């Protein structure tokens, strides 16, 4: 398993709605992520900066490169676009983070 971390940005004032939508995550989206090899997925919010820190484990052999073309993922991005900083196609602005320390 690879550990992957990235950050995104939530628009101020949308914290509760962002959490509510994720509390009700669509089963077909969760299934698409699982089928792509994603597990142990968490998102944390820095309430001071509105930065979302995401962490997930990804299988060594995975299908995550296909997720951006998955219709359910695209639909989720459209659904979440009013809450986050996004690109013109509604993909979240997501910046990878470099791991500098890990301890099991």
CATH number of the domain residue 22 falls in: 3.30.70.100
In a domain, 83, yes or no: yes
In a domain, 48, yes or no: yes
Please tell me which residue in 14, 22, 50, 102 is annotated as part of the active site: 22
pLDDT > 90 in the chain, percent? 98
Average of pLDDT values for 15-32? 98
pLDDT for position 51: 98
DSSP per residue, 16-30 = HHHHHHHHT--HHHH
Q: Is 22 a catalytic residue?
A: yes
pTM: 0.92
In a domain, 101, yes or no: no
CA dist 44 → 55, 59, 67 (Å): 8, 21, 21
pLDDT in tens, 48-89: 999 999 999 999 989 999 999 999 999 999 999 999 999 999
Q: Domain tally for the chain? A: 1
**Domain range enclosing 10:** 2-96
């Amino acid at each position: 398993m690879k550990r992957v971390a990235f950050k995104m940005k939530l628009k101020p004032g949308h914290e509760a709605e962002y959490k509510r939508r994720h509390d009700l995550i669509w089963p077909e989206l969760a299934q698409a992520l699982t089928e792509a090899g994603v597990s142990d997925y968490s998102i944390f919010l820095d309430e001071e900066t509105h930065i979302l820190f995401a962490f997930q484990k990804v299988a060594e052999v995975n299908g995550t490169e296909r997720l951006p073309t998955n219709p359910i993922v695209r639909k989720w991005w459209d659904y979440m676009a009013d809450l986050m900083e996004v690109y013109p196609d509604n993909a979240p602005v997501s910046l990878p983070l470099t791991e500098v320390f890990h301890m099991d």
